[in-house]
Amino acid sequence: MLRIVPATGDQLQPALELLFSEWPVDARAQRITEIRQEIADEEFDPEQLLLAEFDRRVVGVQLTILRDDDVGMVWPPVLDAPLLKRMSGPAAEFVEDELLAEAARQLDAEDAWIGQALLEPNQLREHAAMQRNGFARLTELRFFERLLTESSSWARREQPVPLSYEPYRRSRNRLAFVNVLEATYRRSLDCPEFNGVRDGEQSLKNHEAAGSFGPDMWRLYRHTGVDVGILLMAERPDQQAWEVLYLGVVEPARGRGIGRTMLLDALNAARDANVERLLIVADARNTPAVSLYESLGFQPVATRVAFVRLAKK
């Protein structure tokens, strides 16, 4: 009989070994040691690592990380397919489905508003597993980076739109940030499926949980005294980088070069902070954004396919 249970006690080690089975041996051992330390420090909850057990042997694992912003980051199941075949146990698809069904129950129990998975384009088996279990294929996300070397130049000859900005101060202007953020979603080409699903308050909460930042890294922009856009950045010290979490312009101000000016501002701020690169992500369907990033020297570094499961109303 197949059992789906949390990877605790004696089953934690074999579950972690299977979870990282495709990693090089040294990297796998290091990551397992790190996770055990995170468990000891109460930074990782082993209840979020599910294992599928058949005849007292681990045949599959699945990890879901529930963030403080009620977002569930979902990884596709990892199976010990050769073991399943040798044991004449349940079919691989059945094990995947049972693991993901339990992950979905966990998301619902914790009131997560969304569960999301980012997969490699060639992970076709995993794509099928997510779709069988209520995770809709949303879009392809393209990841870009711009190196910030001393010789870097990004259109210093340009005459950017004259903008002023106000840095984020939670106790003073959070509501203004929420309102402008929500306004930038109207007729947005970035994941338009979320329009009407997310509001500015929930989104700002999501971004606050996405990485460390200084108040000056979050900026509300104005043009002739009118709020026109918002820029949210976070530090990625492990990559010697800053990341643009979000860059949006309100609908009436689009098409005037305001987004370009904001991104130039981000590039200058990151270089002034002596980081090596600026990172940004775009919905592949948002061709104006992709064209803007490429025109300023951003290079594509990865593509991921996004799958999402929204909370049931």
Q: Give pLDDT, residue 113.
A: 87
Q: Give pLDDT, residue 156.
A: 53
Q: Give pLDDT, residue 159.
A: 62
Q: Give pLDDT, residue 153.
A: 64
Q: Are 138 and 191 in contact (CB under 8 A)?
A: yes
Domain borders along the chain are: 2-134, 143-304
CATH number of 2-134: 3.40.630.30
Q: Give pLDDT, residue 207.
A: 79
CA distance 216 to 14: 45
Q: Give pLDDT, residue 170.
A: 82
Q: Give pLDDT, residue 62.
A: 97
What global pTM score does this model have?
0.88
Is there a shared CATH topology between the 2-134 domain and the 143-304 domain?
Answer: yes
The residue type at 248 = G
CA 176 from centre of chain: 24
One pLDDT digit (tens) per residue for the chain, 313 residues: 899 999 988 899 999 999 999 999 999 999 999 999 999 998 899 999 999 999 889 999 999 999 877 889 999 999 998 888 888 878 999 999 999 999 999 999 998 889 999 999 999 999 999 999 999 999 999 999 999 976 666 655 566 788 999 999 988 898 999 999 999 988 887 877 776 666 677 778 777 776 677 878 999 999 999 999 999 999 999 899 999 999 999 999 999 999 999 999 999 999 999 999 999 999 999 999 999 999 999 999 999 999 999 887 5
CATH fold of the domain at 143-304: Aminopeptidase (3.40.630)
